[in-house]
Amino acid sequence: MDGIKDLSKNIKIFLKNYNYNWRFKVLWCVPMMVILVAIDWISKAVVSGSMHLGETKTFIPNLLSVNYTINTGAALGMNAGNPTLAITLAAIVTVMLMVAFVFLNTKLWTVAICVMLAGSFGNIIARAWAPVDNNGVRGGVVDFLQWDIDLPLFRGYIFNLADLFVNIAVGLLFLTVVLMGVEEVKQQVFKKNPEKLETYLDFKDKLHINENKYLANVKGKKVKEQWSFYKEYLANSKNIKKDWKEYKKNSKNKQEK
């Protein structure tokens, strides 16, 4: 019993002291998510309100067309005709993404999950108002974009902007992993030169401090004041990066001598 109490106490302490990076999430990620979901919903409403089910129009010749369909399954037409299962799976994924969004505090990871969450929200909530399909089944989602590219990967795939957001998020996640790998390689290389490693870590810390200072300054401020702080943030970031480039240049010149 004491072990359970200690575990509960430790969890509470962890949750209380954890760095959630709320400022960045509230000031940047949440507005971005709202905008993306709004764009997705507007596009679905325009298509469903101006086209007949099954109607096709050319959007960009030989590249992209608009083909209005109702997908009662999941992405790529999986579980077609079973909206209950599709909604259940989508709800589970959305909850998992929300948990990840809350606890991730690295900017790149957070942005990627934010974009993916926008796609997930866009589809799962839109199912509530989407028209019925040709079989009278409710709970589907409006799909309307189709590539006019004769390649196996693109052929027959009809999607919407929310699906596109998810695909973009996957790309961002892959990019984040690559950048993390590059960062790790950099630090391993710099370890051969302790002075350079220390200067590099100091450079990264200054960028982080500058960002946190900006996020703290704009909290509760008017748009005009926020813009002023943003320009200051950009100027400071530019100077910090300039100092790092200057250090690398001087270090290279010393080695050549």
Q: Is residue 196 part of a domain?
A: yes
The string of pLDDT tens digits covering residues 231-244 is 999 999 999 999 99
Query: Is pLDDT at 134 greater than 70 in this prediction?
Result: no
Q: What is the pTM of this model?
A: 0.80
- Domain end: 177, 203, 219, which one? 177
> How far apart, in whole angstroms, are the C-alpha atoms of residue 247 and residue 79?
57
- Kindly tell me if the per-residue pLDDT of 80 is higher than 60: no
Instruction: Give per-residue pLDDT as tens, 36-74.
Output: 999 999 999 999 899 998 899 988 888 899 999 988 765
Do the domain assignments include residue 165? Answer: yes
246: containing domain: 191-252
Q: Are 108 and 220 part of one and the same domain? A: no
- Structural domain count, the chain: 2
220 in any annotated domain: yes
Structural domain contains residue 63: yes
The verdict on 50 and 173 lying in the same domain is yes
Predicted confidence at residue 79, as pLDDT, reads 47
To which residue do tokens 């969890």 refer? Answer: 11
CB 178 within 8 Å of CB 108: no
Place of tokens 């325009």: 46
Is 13 part of any domain? no
Q: For the chain, what percent of residues have pLDDT higher than 90?
A: 42
- Name beta bridge partners: 221: none
CA distance 33 to 12: 29
In a domain, 6, yes or no: no
CA distances from 244 to 187, 232, 233, 234, 249 (A): 15, 19, 17, 15, 9
Let me know: does 176 contact 137? Beta carbons within 8 Å.
no
**Do 208 and 166 lie in a common domain?**
no
Active site residues: 143, 163
Instruction: Give the pLDDT confidence score for residue 5 in this predicted structure.
Output: 77
Question: Across-strand partners of 141?
Answer: 71
